[in-house]
Structure 1
Amino acid sequence: MRWFHFLAVGALSLTLTACTTSPTGRQQFTLASDAQLNQMGAQAFDQYQQDLPTVGGATHRYAQCVAEAIVSALPAEQQRAQDWQIRVFESEQANAFALPGGYMGINTGLLNVARTQDQLAAVIGHEIGHVLARHANERVSTQTATQIGLSVLSSVSGMQGSGGQQMMGALGLGAQYGVLLPFSRRHESEADVIGLWLMADAGFDPRASVALWQNMEAAGGTRPPAWMSTHPSQGQRMAGLQANMPEAVARFERARQAGRTPNCPRP
């Protein structure tokens, strides 16, 4: 099993040379260039705007007001590090996204669920949390390392026949459900917590985040089990938010005392 020892040592070396820390203090594995990912994020954002109709006017000003209030509460270096932009896209799906580089989008359908500026701040704070935590870099790095590991295993173990292909398929499923999907759920949970802090620091009431997910739950729909989903269940998300609520409320109260009282008129 010398090949396995070699693979393990190589993986350990990669981990040691690509270890960073997220805003919550979690150790991360990042191999990709942030500059390159930011450029790809800008290109994808441009493509989104070409492919999907955007909404301007009061609706865009509303989303931009909330986003700017959160970004303005960030440390100066984090404000400058990204090209923070947000667009509203015409779509009934209650969805939002964030891309490397600080490019964000929300769908008009989400505004039917996020009914107040504080609830919208929970969504936008969550998306900014993904960017600050470099989750895109981490996902790309993890997927790359997983594919390399499976390729090396296939080569050195001689899994070339039909039986080997079946075994590699099973290993691929193991990687999907054992590594990649849980990793994504971890990102979502972490972005929830970071977003909770960010919205509170900006003067938005963090308790609205729980109301948002109650609205999401009421909007409903059939969902896969949490272990097969890229997102935690709504119950898990609300429990995580509640567990971090005392600190968030304290941050919110400090922000209000410092004069941060955002007022973003809903159209």
Structure 2
Amino acid sequence: MKIKKSLLILLLGAVVVACSTNPFTGKQTLALVPNSEILPMAFQQYSEFLSENKVVKNTSQAQMVKNVGQKIASAAERYLSANGYAGYLKDYRWEYNLVDSKEVNAWCMPGGKIVVYTGILPITKDEAGLAAVMGHEVAHALANHGQQRMSAGQLQQLGAVAGNIALAGDAQNQQIFNTAYGLGSNLGVMLPFSRSHETEADHIGLILMAIAGYEPAAAAELWQRMQAQEQGAPPEFLSTHPASSTRIQNIKAWVPEAKAEARKFGVTTFKR
């Protein structure tokens, strides 16, 4: 009984103590793994990835990726400084690379390490479409979504350990618990957690692209093109991402807000 109580106290203590503040929402978020550990790993993994893949250099597309990336990074720095987070990006080492791959994807590692695959460029279509993608990916990094997912995964593992300790000596109920806990924690916690991150990144990314001078309505058009590419997408509740139709609806509703935020920084015209 003492072991069970101690484990519960440990779990509660970890959640209460290991928190950080999302600078865009003001909400407290999980931070069991500190950025002092995450960023060096991210930088190393990014370097290894570049060394193992074909990086496109000295082309108009590669230059576009760098130009758009720099504008999104500048928008983030301006927004954060204006909202009381002037030193938030001090450990960032921004880098923007185009990689030759048919994969329709882009990502940003913690610390501002960005990759765009050539396979996504026909869908992004233009600078504004690319800004929507890069703004979204940068938003994941700025909101520390990777840190939160790692922290949530650790708590999920601790919960499984706690349940098995509580049911020690009862093999049948342990098996039932493990099956139910695995399914329940994934469908009820981890997948919605991931979908909420995607929605949050859509929202933050829209604001960043608007401050960077790009038409935020272009993000909805991008997702309409993405939707046309989808084949056999799983139901939303089984997916780590919201349905494209949901994203499009959300983005259209947020466009006026994104433009209003951009006007605070003197941006009144928006490039498509």
TM-score, normalised to structure 2, is 0.88
CA contact (8 A) 1:29 1:142 kept: yes
Which of these residues, 177, 181, 186, is aligned with residue 187 of structure 2? 177
Distance in 2 (CA, whole Å) between partners of 1:191 and 1:158 is 41
| Partner residue in 2 for 1:31 | 32
Distance in 2 (CA, whole Å) between partners of 1:15 and 1:108 is 40
Which of these residues, 238, 250, 253, is aligned with residue 260 of structure 2? 250
Which of these residues, 81, 87, 107, is aligned with residue 77 of structure 1? 87
Distance in 2 (CA, whole Å) between partners of 1:41 and 1:102 is 9
Q: Structure 2, unaligned stretches of length 5 or more? A: none
Distance in 2 (CA, whole Å) between partners of 1:30 and 1:66 is 30
Residue 156 of structure 1 and its aligned partner are, at CA, apart by 2.6
Residue 123 of structure 1 and its aligned partner are, at CA, apart by 0.6
| Partner residue in 1 for 2:69 | 67
| Partner residue in 1 for 2:198 | 188
Residue 169 of structure 1 and its aligned partner are, at CA, apart by 2.4
1:85 aligned partner, one-letter code: E
Distance in 1 (CA, whole Å) between partners of 2:230 and 2:150 is 31
Distance in 2 (CA, whole Å) between partners of 1:4 and 1:155 is 7
Distance in 1 (CA, whole Å) between partners of 2:259 and 2:16 is 37
| Partner residue in 1 for 2:224 | 214
Distance in 2 (CA, whole Å) between partners of 1:179 and 1:34 is 23
Residue 124 of structure 1 and its aligned partner are, at CA, apart by 0.6
| Partner residue in 1 for 2:247 | 237
Alpha carbon RMSD of aligned pairs, Å?
Answer: 2.3
Q: Structure 1, unaligned stretches of length 5 or more? A: none
1:184 aligned partner, one-letter code: S
- State how many pairs are aligned: 262
| Partner residue in 2 for 1:139 | 149
Measured against aligned partners, the alpha-carbon deviations of 1:100-130 in whole angstroms (never above 9, x if no partner) come to 1111111111101001111110111111101
Q: What's the secondary structure of 1:80's corresponding residue?
A: coil
Residue 133 of structure 1 and its aligned partner are, at CA, apart by 0.4
CA contact (8 A) 1:69 1:262 kept: no
Residue 167 of structure 1 and its aligned partner are, at CA, apart by 2.8
Distance in 1 (CA, whole Å) between partners of 2:169 and 2:192 is 27
Residue 12 of structure 1 and its aligned partner are, at CA, apart by 2.6
Distance in 2 (CA, whole Å) between partners of 1:44 and 1:103 is 10
Residue 244 of structure 1 and its aligned partner are, at CA, apart by 1.6
The 3 A distance-change label for structure 1 pair 238 and 67 is: same
